Structure 1
Amino acid sequence: MQRIKGISEYRKSLRDIVIEASMKAFALHGVRAVKMDDVAQSLSISKRTIYEMFGNKEQLLIEVLKTYKAAKEKELNEKAANCQNVIELLFYAYFQKIKTFKKTNPKFYTDLAKYPLVIELLNQDREQAHNNYHDFLRRGIDEGLFREDLNLDLIARLLDAVTSTMMNGELYRQYPIEDVFRNIAFVSIRGICTRKGLDLFDKTDI
């Protein structure tokens, strides 16, 4: 029994290592440029071992995306619990996004559209993002930083549309990512701020 437990723990550890290595490779080169052979060779393991754990490249990519999302959500939730207000949280998320985009090959985002199951996963994530926007807006209203007359569901949908436009339109390929966020996302947020919210917004150095 102990031996079986040891094998199981080893497989879990190896699985995490493969996901981490794949995440770095996909971000650096794009998804389609990275072959399962490349990942296997970088870790000195057999390609068969990776296929036994993930089935195929799309399943591996899905696990990479889920792992990344879980890590970022944990990080953002911890920040949300400790930051003073939603404006502080907004700029924290902004700087994290900028850092991620600058370290990621644009091909990575373009390549995602080539995988149907990945698209399905991303669409599910959009539903959760809608709820997150709703909670973010409610907190901003409660803090007196966002207008009280907002239609939360409508604004959440508009913010989701803004995000979709940035990604589906591949604006990150045409303009510096800082400009994309400042001219699209930030303009949208400033429009729903109260005077108190605007004062906090404009005091932040970006």
Structure 2
Amino acid sequence: MQRIKSISEYRKSLHDIVIEESMKAFAKHGIRAVKMDDVAQRLSISKRTIYEMFGNKEQLLVEVLKTYKAAKEEELNEKAANCQNVIELLFYAYYQKINTFKKTNPLFYSDLVKYPSVIELLEKDREKAHQSYHDFLKRGIAEGIFRKDVNIDLITRLLDSVTSAMMDDELYRKYAIEDVFRSIAFVSIRGICTHKGLELFDKTAI
């Protein structure tokens, strides 16, 4: 019984290690450039072992994305619970996104749309992001940082559209990623701030 438990723990540990190493490889080289053989060699294990755990490269990629997004979501939720206001949260997310993009090969994002399972996952995440934007705006209004006459549903949809356009048009390839996210934050968010919100925004942006 103990031996079965040990094998199970080893498999779980190896599963996590494969995801972690694959995440690093995909981010550095892009998805299509990384083969299952490459991951196996990096970890000194057989390719068969990886296939037994994940089935194929696309499923491995899905697990990588799920793991990464869950970690970032937990990190952001913890920050949201402890920050003083939505402006502080906004700039935390702003710098988090910039750092992620800077560390990631643009090919990674271009390659994502080539996998049907990934597209399905991203669509589900888009629905969650929609709710997150909605909650963010409601909190900002309650804190007196965003205007009360803001149409929350409309602004949420606009933010969603801007984010989608950034990815679909690969704006991260054409412009500095700081400029892309700054334009989204400064134009879309600053424009709905109250006087109190503007003061906080400009103070934090310095």
- TM-score by structure 1 length? 0.98
State yes or no: 1:114 paired with 2:114.
Answer: yes
Q: CA deviation at 1:195?
A: 0.9
Cα root mean square deviation, aligned:
0.8
| Kept after mapping to 2: 8 A contact 1:30/1:111 | yes
Q: CA deviation at 1:85?
A: 0.2
What's 1:194 paired with? Answer: 194
Name the aligned partner's letter for residue 93 of structure 2: A
| Kept after mapping to 2: 8 A contact 1:27/1:103 | yes
Matches within 5 A, 1:45-64: 45-64=45-64
CA distance in 2 between counterparts of 1:184 and 1:84 reads: 22
CA distance in 1 between counterparts of 2:151 and 2:105 reads: 37
**Which structure 1 residue ranges, 4+ long, deviate > 6 Å from structure 2?**
none
Query: How many residues end up aligned between the 2 structures?
Result: 206
What's 1:103 paired with? Answer: 103
Matches within 5 A, 1:113-152: 113-152=113-152
What's 1:177 paired with? Answer: 177
Q: CA deviation at 1:182?
A: 1.4
Q: CA deviation at 1:181?
A: 1.1
Name the aligned partner's letter for residue 8 of structure 1: S
What's 2:91 paired with? Answer: 91
CA distance in 1 between counterparts of 2:148 and 2:125 reads: 27
| Kept after mapping to 2: 8 A contact 1:113/1:119 | yes
Q: CA deviation at 1:27?
A: 0.2
Q: CA deviation at 1:185?
A: 3.4
CA distance in 2 between counterparts of 1:205 and 1:93 reads: 13
Q: CA deviation at 1:3?
A: 1.2
What's 2:82 paired with? Answer: 82
| Kept after mapping to 2: 8 A contact 1:162/1:185 | no
State yes or no: 1:18 paired with 2:18.
Answer: yes
| Kept after mapping to 2: 8 A contact 1:86/1:140 | yes
Segments of structure 1 that go 5 or more residues without pairing to the other structure are: none
- TM-score by structure 2 length? 0.98
